[in-house]
Structure 1
Amino acid sequence: ELDTDFLDVKLSSQNPQLHGLVSSYLSMVEINSNSTSKPNLSTSKQARHLIQKILPTGQLSRPVIAENMKLHERALHRKLQSEGYTFEALVDEVRIAEAKKLLAHDAIPMSQIAGLLGYNEQSSFNRAFKRWFNMTPKQYLQSKH
């Protein structure tokens, strides 16, 4: 619990774009918090949804996703495989889509983007980005402007 006075404290480094991203993320989590398992969605779509929710927390792992889907890890693996996916491929898909969205906001530092994508180090994000797009995030941004 927080003291309500704490909510009125002004931050010295405000970032409206980051605030918007965090607000939309929290709204998504709140809206979907009662529906972790959606029987009408495929396993891969359910997993993608959970990956997107958990990614910014830094707690993303196959066991966490399986537990949230109320599946054993091996059952998750088999179900994803039957749909033509691997867990790692889904994580990459979500990260690529989120990276594109986040890079569209010029004011968000690269280190924060890396963190929101679940990377502990910006260098790890840079290596993954280069693998996905065959260019660095900086080169990607320059090609978009």
Structure 2
Amino acid sequence: MDAVHVYAAYSIYEILVERGIDPVDLFKQAGINPRIFITPEVTSFASLGRLTALAASQTQCAHFGLLVGQRTTLASLGLLGSLLRHSETIGDALCALETHYDLLNRGALIAVTSEDAVATLRYSPYDPEAEGIPLHCERAIAALTNVLRSLCGPNWSPDEVLLPRLEPPDTGPYRRFFRCSVRFEQEIAALVFPTRVLRHPIAGAKPFIRNAVQRRIRQLEADVPSDMSGAVRRQVRSIMTENRVQKDLIAQSLAIGHRTLSRRLKAEGTTFRAVASQTRLVMAKHLLSDTNLSLAEISAVLEFSEPAAFTHAFKRWTGITPSAWRRECQGN
């Protein structure tokens, strides 16, 4: 199961209580045990998305994901938060977050890229059963903003925020929180900021704490069962908007041969082509239902040679055309 840290579910619980709404029924509808905070249970990425969507509907709050993400602190991230706090530089902290994000969330990934003077911190869901992706994305981008403010200072703000969701009627809450330009209906969820930020030292970082936390994190990761199809989904999603999705490239990124990759996927009852297609379908459905990007733009993002090829593939995957899917999802 693509398990996620319970801190987001706990924030949802708190917000509902503060607004006078009993959260127990909503948690049950989402398939989450309301006692999750006092038991050793975990929840799935899909269930968290379902819960967030239900809570957004119940509270009639279009920016509910933003509210949840605003409550994130370094302390709420547990061991990973300690590792970030005691990293040498902001770049080191974000690299640690990118490397070890599976400890918090096995349904999405973090990626940091930089080109010339511009750095981009991206959040990309890849869980094939994911629900409420726009809310997942805005929650995560708000949480990442809080993480960077904890490390850089409370006055820090990105240059630009990209969100893959339809523009809400009231964009004020987004602009007040991020304190910068917020662009909706984008193909990715990301924070954009100067590359020089990555070189900033983190005040008060203690190397001996960092080393101890790193050792503990490696121990925890060593105990996680192998999930090759999940690893492939993560890698496919990571490179989908940057390079052609090729089996050899994915195998290289996982530090194994392509034949070994095929054998391990076969042992899990799947193939590289099936996992790659499923990951593309997840992204296609999201961009069709939650943005107004044209079919030509979406087909380019998903690396199809032309819109007609995308339409053919989508119809093969789902039985209907992308345009019909969009009409059903957007109620037109």
> Please, what TM-score do these two structures have when normalized by structure 1?
0.74
After superposition, residues 1-145 of structure 1 pair within 5 angstroms as: 1-2=116-117, 16-18=184-186, 21-24=187-190, 40=224, 41-144=226-329, 145=331
- Report which of the two structures shows the higher radius of gyration computed on alpha carbons: 2
Alignment deviations for residues 106-137 of structure 1 (CA, whole Å, 9 cap, x no partner): 42111111122221211111100110111111
Q: Mark the CA change 1:58 to 1:124 in structure 2 (over 3 Å): closer, same or farther.
A: farther
User: Using the alignment, how far apart are the partners of 1:24 and 1:49 within structure 2?
Assistant: 17
Q: How many residues align?
A: 123
User: Using the alignment, how far apart are the partners of 2:291 and 2:117 within structure 1?
Assistant: 32
Larger helix proportion, structure 1 or 2? 1
Q: Mark the CA change 1:72 to 1:25 in structure 2 (over 3 Å): closer, same or farther.
A: farther
Shift of 1:48: 0.7
Q: Mark the CA change 1:110 to 1:25 in structure 2 (over 3 Å): closer, same or farther.
A: farther
Larger strand proportion, structure 1 or 2? 2
Shift of 1:100: 1.2
Residue 58 of structure 1 contacts residue 119 of structure 1 at CA under 8 Å; is this kept in 2? no
Shift of 1:25: 9.0
Q: Structure 1 vs Structure 2: percent identity of aligned residues? A: 25
More off after superposition, 107-116 vs 58-67: 107-116
> Please, what TM-score do these two structures have when normalized by structure 2?
0.34
User: Using the alignment, how far apart are the partners of 1:79 and 1:126 within structure 2?
Assistant: 31
State the partner residue of 2:131: none
Report the residue type matching 1:116 in the other structure.
V
User: Using the alignment, how far apart are the partners of 2:298 and 2:305 within structure 1?
Assistant: 11
Shift of 1:57: 2.0
Shift of 1:58: 3.7
User: Using the alignment, how far apart are the partners of 1:139 and 1:107 within structure 2?
Assistant: 14
User: Using the alignment, how far apart are the partners of 1:22 and 1:98 within structure 2?
Assistant: 10
User: Using the alignment, how far apart are the partners of 1:25 and 1:84 within structure 2?
Assistant: 37
Report the residue type matching 1:104 in the other structure.
S
Residue 57 of structure 1 contacts residue 118 of structure 1 at CA under 8 Å; is this kept in 2? no
Shift of 1:2: 4.3
User: Using the alignment, how far apart are the partners of 2:310 and 2:190 within structure 1?
Assistant: 22
Report the residue type matching 2:277 in the other structure.
D
Shift of 1:142: 2.0
Which consecutive residues of structure 2, in runs of 5 or more, have no partner in the other structure? 1-115, 119-158, 160-182, 193-220
Alignment deviations for residues 45-97 of structure 1 (CA, whole Å, 9 cap, x no partner): 11110011111224210000000000111000001001111000001111111
State the partner residue of 2:80: none
